[in-house]
Amino acid sequence: MSINWLFLIIGGICETGFATSLGKIHQTSGKEMWFWIVMFLIFVSSSMILLFKATGGEKAIPVGTAYAVWGAIGAVGTVIVGIFAFQEPVTFWRMFFLTTLIISVVGLQLSSSH
């Protein structure tokens, strides 16, 4: 695994962090809300910088592949956090489409020319 893939994976995890922070901002007020606003800014900045770094350099990941993988990591992570932290529903169709998203991104990566 190249460093670019590591950047991309960590960036996707940061995307989960900024989406989770948005949810927490809506659930809190006062100083706690400001904490989550700061966390949102840190996560969104980190996520974008890491996505940028993953798509450049010697072993750059193609932008289309990188964006799809980054978004999928964030989406899957956000759904999982939503289930455990926000008591979002676990339904057959949510899990079915989440699974198809994962399969699609893996297929995209495997069929990538890089």
- Residue 83 near residue 23, CB atoms below 8 Å: no
Dihedral sign of CA atoms 23, 24, 30, 35 in order: negative
- Residue 24 near residue 36, CB atoms below 8 Å: yes
Q: How many angstroms separate the most distant Cα atoms in the chain? A: 50
Dihedral sign of CA atoms 47, 48, 50, 55 in order: positive
The residues spanned by each domain of the chain are: 3-111
Phi-psi region at 29: left, alpha or beta (left = phi > 0; alpha = psi -120 to 50): beta
- Check whether 112 has a pLDDT greater than 90: no
Q: What is the pLDDT of residues 79-108, one digit of tens each?
A: 999 999 999 999 999 999 999 999 998 888
pTM here is: 0.88
